[in-house]
Amino acid sequence: MSSWITSEWASELRDLWNKYDPIGVFPVDENFVQNPLDEYDSYHGIVLKRLNENASPRVLTKDIKKIVTLQMGMTWNRQLKASTKQFVQNCYAWFETKKDEIQK
């Protein structure tokens, strides 16, 4: 088994975070080449922990809200709430397809 950070799972979770992009570091132009691909990697742990614990989406949403507001310094608003809800749903859907592999 490869290390977590170089695994397919990390790459897929990174993609979910990067699409969520709560601080807006990824430009709309996909041809822009200076994307900080690992910007959100330090937050993988809390997502995986909650998913592995079978925590409710509400619990994960609260954790993400804390990360976004307290650690990233963003102001919680309607748009961020909606994008966070979608991100959490995407995380649960992704985990459903990977949990047997990840929990080995």
Model confidence pLDDT, tens digit, residues 11-51: 899 999 999 999 988 766 666 555 567 889 899 999 999 99
pLDDT by residue (tens digit) across 47-70?
999 999 999 999 999 999 999 999
CA–CA distances in Å: residue 87 to residues 15, 19, 25, 34? 11, 8, 16, 23
Residue 103's pLDDT band, with cuts at 50, 70 and 90, is low
CA–CA distances in Å: residue 2 to residues 7, 29, 55, 103? 6, 32, 26, 14
For residue 54, is it left (φ>0), alpha (ψ between -120 and 50) or beta? Answer: left
**Residue with token string 């490869």:** 2
User: What is the Cα gyration radius of the chain?
Assistant: 14
Predicted confidence at residue 99, as pLDDT, reads 80
